[in-house]
Amino acid sequence: MSIIAIDDERVGERLLSIEQIAQRVKELGQQIGNDYRGRDLVLIGVLTGSVVFLSDLIRSIPGNLEVDFVAAASYGAVTHSSGVVRILKDLSHPILSKDALIVEDIVDTGLTLAYLIDRVASHQPASLATCVLLNKSARRRVPVDLNYVGFELPDRFVVGYGLDYAGRYRNLPSIHVYNLEESSGIECRRPSAD
Ligand code: IMP
């Protein structure tokens, strides 16, 4: 039973349980650990949505690794990106000649990740790969190479395990559908750091 009480009826059906997520994150961690054995691995978390996933993932990866963060913003509605992405926080440390792995919570249109792949590539890592927990491939607008994928998702807006709606619900331990059609109808526009 969850200790988190949610008073918003728009938080709906649970798509992924704590156990399902934990099992898949463990598998991804072991796969990444095997693939990068003996390499100089840097995981690059995309703020803010990836923090819960990243914190579990790094503890599932055997061997040495480093962690850095980037943040991007897209101007648009709360639930979708406008396509205009800009960097809010770049890498804090050089990754020249290291193996970079971008860790993202969810890929929707692909615009944010495509932008970040170019941005991180400009720092000249030895290799660059991507790891995403959730993939909404039906909504893709630009192609992006995904090397490690946790789960394929239907075209639903989801919250929990780091994913938010208007900044809320990141602390839900499992992943739920968020029923947008029952929302107030007011589309809140904001510059968002995803
Ligand atoms: P993209 O640029 O359209 O691929 O959007 C990527 C970003 O949009 C993600 O990093 C999330 O912050 C946000 N996003 C997309 N879909 C969802 C969702 O279902 N729930 C919460 N955030 C989402």
Domain boundaries, the chain: 11-182
Q: Which residues line ligand 1 (CB under 6 A)?
A: 49, 81, 104-113, 157-158, 163-164, 194
Q: Can you give the pLDDT at residue 25?
A: 98
Closest ligand 1 atom to residue 156 Cα is: 19
Average pLDDT over residues 110-124: 96
Which of 119, 163, 165, 171 most suits a substitution to test ligand 1, by most atoms within 8 Å of the C-beta?
A: 163
Could you list the active site residues? 108
Examine residue 109 and say whether the peptide bond preceding it is cis (omega within 30 degrees of 0).
no
Ligand 1 centroid to Cα of residue 107, in Å, is 6
Q: Which atom of ligand 1 is nearest to the CA of 48?
A: 12
Q: What is the pLDDT of residue 81?
A: 64
Question: Could you report the per-residue pLDDT of 42-98, keeping only the tens digit for each?
Answer: 999 999 999 999 999 999 999 999 999 999 988 666 666 667 899 999 999 999 999
pLDDT at 84: 84
pLDDT in tens, 136-188: 999 999 999 999 999 999 999 999 999 999 999 999 999 999 998 754 443 33
Q: Look at ligand 1, atom 5, and give the residue with the nearest C-alpha.
A: 108
What does the pLDDT average to over 116-125? 97
150-158 LR contacts (CB < 8 Å, sep 24+): 150/21, 150/24, 150/25, 150/28, 150/53, 151/16, 151/24, 153/15, 153/106, 156/15, 157/79, 158/15, 158/106, 158/134
User: Which pLDDT value is given to residue 76?
Assistant: 64
**Atom number in ligand 1 closest to CA 85:** 2
pLDDT at 2: 58
pLDDT at 6 (0 to 100): 74
Q: pTM of this prediction?
A: 0.91
> Closest residue (by CA) to atom 9 of ligand 1?
106
Instruction: Enter the CATH code of domain 11-182.
Output: 3.40.50.2020
